[in-house]
Chains A and B, each alone.
Chain A
Amino acid sequence: DGGITQSPKYLFRKEGQNVTLSCEQNLNHDAMYWYRQDPGQGLRLIYYSQIVNDFQKGDIAEGYSVSREKKESFPLTVTSAQKNPTAFYLCASSIAALSLYNEQFFGPGTRLTVL
């Protein structure tokens, strides 16, 4: 059963705590991405990775960190430095990082609420 999985589905954390969101894909995709979605807003890119052990900041990287130690996994850590962490987080992947046309496939998302 191929696809992208994100866990957990819902996450609650106290203010000031770091939290890590999981994203795993078994599609053998090279590139992976993290987006944040706020109500009434489109998707905003946090970080992306074109290849293992390499990643780049997106448009709103402040207060977040990532790692890409394995092709299948791209966890996102929301740190205490992120001012408004409550949001819906979506992970995506695409087949080849340097492909001309980039259809991205999305996971089911994690809804993070900071209390």
Chain B
Amino acid sequence: EDKVVQSPLSLVVHEGDTVTLNCSYEVTNFRSLLWYKQEKKAPTFLFMLTSSGIEKKSGRLSSILDKKELFSILNITATQTGDSAVYLCARQGGSEKLVFGKGTKLTVNP
């Protein structure tokens, strides 16, 4: 069974801290790895990673993929309370289907 494992499952930090969220996956015809942010309802797309070692960046968020070790990390620097959310990682395999991890719940306290 294809699995995507995220860690930690939850994390509480203070504003200004830097956090690293982890995502490991099993590979079956790997195509891409995606990160989403889910605040209250609809997950919103953050990054799609297809190649190893190439960092994707958007403001204070960045992500990188290691296809050899089968994992990805999502970094958030100088966290703000608005970063509080569940961060979901998903792997796309041989079809258009995405397999999601359980998510990491990030709480940023003022």
Residues of A within 8 A of B (CB): 4, 31, 35, 40-45, 48, 50, 58, 90, 94, 97-109
Q: Which of A31, A58, A102, A108 contacts B42 (CB 8 A)?
A: A108
* A106 proximity list for chain B (CB < 8 A): 36, 42-44
Is B48 engaged at the interface, CB distance under 8 Å to the other chain? yes
* A31 proximity list for chain B (CB < 8 A): 96
Task: Tell me if A42 and B103 are in contact (CB < 8 A).
Answer: yes
Known: A90-B42, A103-B45. A58 touches B96 (CB 8 A): no
* B7 proximity list for chain A (CB < 8 A): none
Q: Which of A45, A90, A101, A107 contacts B31 (CB 8 A)?
A: A101
Q: Which of B80-98 contact A (CB under 8 A)?
A: 88, 90, 92, 96-98
- Of the candidates B31, B41, B88, B99, the one having the most CB atoms from chain A within 10 angstroms of its own CB is B41
Task: Tell me if B41 and A108 are in contact (CB < 8 A).
Answer: yes
* A4 proximity list for chain B (CB < 8 A): 42
A103 to B90, CA, bound (A): 10
Task: Tell me if A104 and B98 are in contact (CB < 8 A).
Answer: yes
- Nearest-CB residue, chain A, relative to B6: A42
- Nearest-CB residue, chain A, relative to B32: A101
Return 26 A-B CB contacts under 8 Å, by A number: A40-B9, A41-B102, A41-B103, A42-B6, A42-B88, A42-B103, A43-B90, A43-B98, A43-B100, A44-B100, A48-B97, A50-B96, A58-B97, A94-B96, A98-B96, A99-B96, A101-B32, A101-B48, A101-B50, A102-B32, A102-B98, A103-B34, A103-B48, A104-B34, A106-B43, A108-B42
